[in-house]
């Protein structure tokens, strides 16, 4: 293992929210990354709720790491690496995506697919200006950016606990927006790595096998009074429009081309 990979792994908390548990492929991928600490929330069927709980748990793990760092008893945390329970990756891919997030100072997603072999799609939507809305299958978020997002979130009660409402799934105008898509909206979009990871659906899908590329930038409709952005969505979401108040799109929508393991368990 090279020193850079070891350092990145030591400074990363891998955050997993799962209801069904990890696939064997994902467990193997995690175990191939020594020094990577994993915080996992399991057994909550509401995916958006599970993600909110898990991010809070990952930040508590960061607090513990910061206390140890202050005593020269361990490294400081630099990233939260959000992965789904059915992703396949190598230590080298994890290193590359974390390094990109380190250099950019903002969240970076690996490329991966959703759908199936008959309907393959890239799990991203192009906002333009180099930013994307993505799933949370493999997303490296700098700890400062994550804390800033949580600081803006409303605190809501879940049982006798308070958790940050950092994401939710639900209607946004005429379309339904998934919780992962909404989370990256809250980050102002993320960067998309050139590196890809596999997605078990039920066989492992990899974008380059299908010659898939990210969708094009959003269509921009300009008039004398306003500029409207029509954002191409990832699979499963209807067309999303970001419009100035009172404005309406004037053109047709465009369809997109397509370590050690610790556990936090709630029932």
pLDDT tens profile 149-161: 999 999 999 999 9
Please count the CA atoms within 13 angstroms of the CA of 154 that sit on its side-chain side: 5
Output the pLDDT for position 220.
Answer: 57
Q: Is 121 helix (H, G, I), strand (E, B) or coil?
A: strand
Where along the chain do its domains lie? 3-212+257-265
261 pLDDT band, cuts 50/70/90, is very low
Taking Cα atoms as reference points, which of 204, 208, 195, 251 lies closest to residue 228?
Answer: 251
- pLDDT of 218-244, one tens digit each? 765 544 554 444 444 443 333 333 333
Q: How many whole angstroms separate alpha carbon 223 and alpha carbon 118?
A: 40
Percentage with pLDDT > 70 across the chain: 81
Helix axes 91-104, 3-10, angle to 10 degrees: 70
Cα angle: 188, vertex 114, 229; to 5 degrees: 35
3-212+257-265 fold: Spore Coat Polysaccharide Biosynthesis Protein SpsA; Chain A (3.90.550)
Choice between 226 and 168, residue whose per-residue pLDDT is larger: 168
pLDDT above 70: residue 144: yes
DSSP 262: E
Average pLDDT of every residue of the chain: 82
Output the pLDDT for position 165.
Answer: 94
DSSP 210: G
Question: 200 burial class (0-12, 13-18, 19+ CB within 10 angstroms)?
Answer: middle
pLDDT above 60: residue 52: yes
DSSP 266: -
What the block records as the tokens of 142 is 């700098």
pLDDT above 60: residue 59: yes
- pLDDT of 94-121, one tens digit each? 999 999 999 999 999 999 999 887 888 8
Helix axes 179-186, 47-70, angle to 10 degrees: 50
Output the pLDDT for position 228.
Answer: 44
């Amino acid at each position: 293992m090279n020193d850079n990979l070891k350092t990145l792994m030591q400074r990363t908390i891998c955050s997993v929210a799962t209801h069904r548990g990890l696939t064997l492929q994902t467990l193997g991928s995690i175990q191939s990354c020594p020094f990577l600490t994993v915080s996992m929330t399991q057994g909550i069927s509401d995916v958006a709720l599970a993600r909110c709980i898990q991010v809070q748990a990952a930040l508590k793990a960061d607090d513990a790491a910061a206390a140890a760092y202050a005593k020269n008893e361990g490294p400081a945390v630099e990233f939260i690496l959000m992965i789904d329970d059915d992703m396949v990756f190598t230590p080298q891919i994890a290193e590359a995506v974390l390094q990109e997030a380190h250099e950019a100072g903002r969240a970076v997603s690996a490329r991966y697919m959703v759908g199936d072999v008959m309907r393959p799609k890239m799990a991203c939507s192009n906002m333009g200006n180099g930013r994307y809305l993505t799933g949370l299958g493999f997303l490296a978020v700098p700890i400062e950016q994550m804390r800033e997002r949580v600081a803006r979130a409303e605190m809501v009660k879940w049982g006798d606990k308070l958790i940050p409402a950092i994401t939710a799934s639900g209607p946004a105008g005429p379309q339904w927006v998934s919780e992962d898509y909404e989370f990256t909206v809250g980050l102002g979009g993320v960067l998309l790595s050139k590196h890809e990871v596999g997605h078990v659906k039920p066989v492992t899908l990899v974008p380059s096998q299908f010659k898939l590329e990210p969708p094009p930038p959003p269509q921009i409709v300009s008039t004398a009074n306003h500029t409207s952005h029509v954002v191409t969505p990832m699979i499963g979401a209807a067309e999303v429009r970001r419009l100035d108040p009172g404005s309406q799109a004037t053109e047709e929508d465009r369809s997109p081309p397509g370590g050690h393991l610790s556990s936090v368990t709630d029932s």
